[in-house]
Structure 1
């Protein structure tokens, strides 16, 4: 029923026990992804160097007709991008742990558009956070920057809504499948982004949000962007995970300063103390981008 490598890759990505690391190993061992369907549990264990419990989970789903049918249905119902496709986002290929499969809703051409910046921050923003966000990113939006964020409460939602209001382009990266939008109050925002921008997730449509999904998806947010801009953040927050991912990927990190008496500012001040670039206006970001363009032209 799975007639080509692409279908097999999407199916394998959904199999219980099939991690991204194991799937990449399998792609290396068997580029056609056809041999594993012929193996026994013991053979899978030996072939992929995994324990028998993990191999048994994979074996069951390899031959699960319901899962195979769901895979084929979703391939027709959704825009699916795999790591073997020509239109896979080139910026994501450079990160250490690129997503193997992405589900998209909206304009996939945005994945090839430059420049882009991820705009992130606390889910519990200060009373001035919206104005701060708008002040920094509105000129970038007007200059055709793509704004990337995670569609969470707070700063993420501000970034998406400001971009849509300004008729700009935005990409939202989810920590769940399209049938389980989180947070629920952002269902309307989800559809607005899908109609005017792009929503991405590496989770199959029927996968609900789980706590560990959000740190995982953060590497995609930073990986899609030239730089990461932190508007507000407390000292210990999920925002800092995205910052760590961005630094690990060699991306620029910017932070907006504010009063040390403001809890939502302390994370930004700490980032600046540790070497993040201070952003007082969009010009600080635009200048770095222009300098990078000059450097690339001189290579």
Structure 2
């Protein structure tokens, strides 16, 4: 079993979690050439799996069931692992990077000069559309690739406006790549899987559980040098993404809004806390002088 096969098998084994996976990746990075010595009991120890759960994991990682799931994903999926040369450097240097990324579409988009993550409310209104329609033409014209989560509201609008303005976009989803959530994003996801890029760390048939969306947000924040929040309520999941970006020492920007609009409350708070207020595309492009050619 080579390193890529091992990481895929580990990722497909229940009971380890993203923190445990990453601890094993760190161990492998510190002990090159020692994969053959990484037996199930050693994996449990390194991953920090609780003693009462170790037996289930250690049996699972060598089980026929996981072998069958592994074979299916090798035959039906395209994927990157943490040690692949194509694995995006920005993501590798972020908090808890995924050890496996399944993908559909144009992987070259990960090598674009700059990526910009855009997040916001699922219940966005006409103000979000106006803001994106004002900002994204110039953003895409200057080569920034838009990253978002293919959710309803700001996410889908960001992808759509990027495409409408002849730009490129990457979607990061919280289900397996053969599923769509919400259903309203299915056609957009299918188009992006053929012409742009769709990413997920979740295996085929995985449904979107609540914690998946928080885990997905760390990938959105980790892929880009900057995260732009367009509309967000006071306790919005978009603020989690912004905080993850800050944790990665990345730039955070926000679209200001009316002080009496609940959908702008989170953005206004971010700006008050030090995020850059974005009033036009130039406010974003000023952070990327090497791209500002038009």
Q: If the length of structure 1 is used for normalisation, what is the TM-score?
A: 0.90
2:93 maps to 94
Instruction: Pick closer, same or farther for the CA change 1:291–1:169 going to 2, 3 Å.
Output: closer
Moved more, 265-274 or 72-81: 72-81
Q: Assess if the C-alpha contact under 8 Å between 2:24 and 2:43 holds in 1.
A: no
1:266 maps to 265
Instruction: Pick closer, same or farther for the CA change 1:25–1:265 going to 2, 3 Å.
Output: closer
Structure 1 gaps, min length 5 = 294-299
2:239 maps to 240
Deviation by residue 1:228-265 (Cα, 9 ceiling, x = unmatched): 11111111110100010011111111111121122111
Instruction: Pick closer, same or farther for the CA change 1:168–1:100 going to 2, 3 Å.
Output: same
Where do 1:158-173 residues align within 5 Å?
158-173=157-172
Note the C-alpha offset of 1:76.
2.9
Coordinate RMSD, CA, aligned: 2.0
Instruction: Pick closer, same or farther for the CA change 1:47–1:234 going to 2, 3 Å.
Output: closer
1:5 maps to 3
Paired with 2:139 and 2:60, the residues of 1 have a C-alpha distance of 46
Note the C-alpha offset of 1:47.
6.2
Paired with 2:156 and 2:68, the residues of 1 have a C-alpha distance of 35
Say which SS state the counterpart of residue 102 (structure 1) adopts.
Answer: strand
Say which SS state the counterpart of residue 11 (structure 1) adopts.
Answer: helix
1:23 maps to 21
Moved more, 45-54 or 263-272: 45-54
Q: Assess if the C-alpha contact under 8 Å between 1:180 and 1:209 holds in 2.
A: no
1:224 maps to 223
Say which SS state the counterpart of residue 171 (structure 1) adopts.
Answer: strand
Deviation by residue 1:74-124 (Cα, 9 ceiling, x = unmatched): 123222000011111011111121111000011111111121101110011
Say which SS state the counterpart of residue 261 (structure 1) adopts.
Answer: coil
Say which SS state the counterpart of residue 289 (structure 2) adopts.
Answer: helix
Instruction: Pick closer, same or farther for the CA change 1:275–1:48 going to 2, 3 Å.
Output: closer
Paired with 1:204 and 1:224, the residues of 2 have a C-alpha distance of 20
Where do 1:138-157 residues align within 5 Å?
138-157=137-156
Instruction: Pick closer, same or farther for the CA change 1:169–1:49 going to 2, 3 Å.
Output: closer
Say which SS state the counterpart of residue 122 (structure 2) adopts.
Answer: coil
Moved more, 279-288 or 257-266: 257-266
1:134 aligns with 2:113: no
Paired residues in the alignment total: 288
Where do 1:157-236 residues align within 5 Å?
157-236=156-235
Structure 2 gaps, min length 5 = none
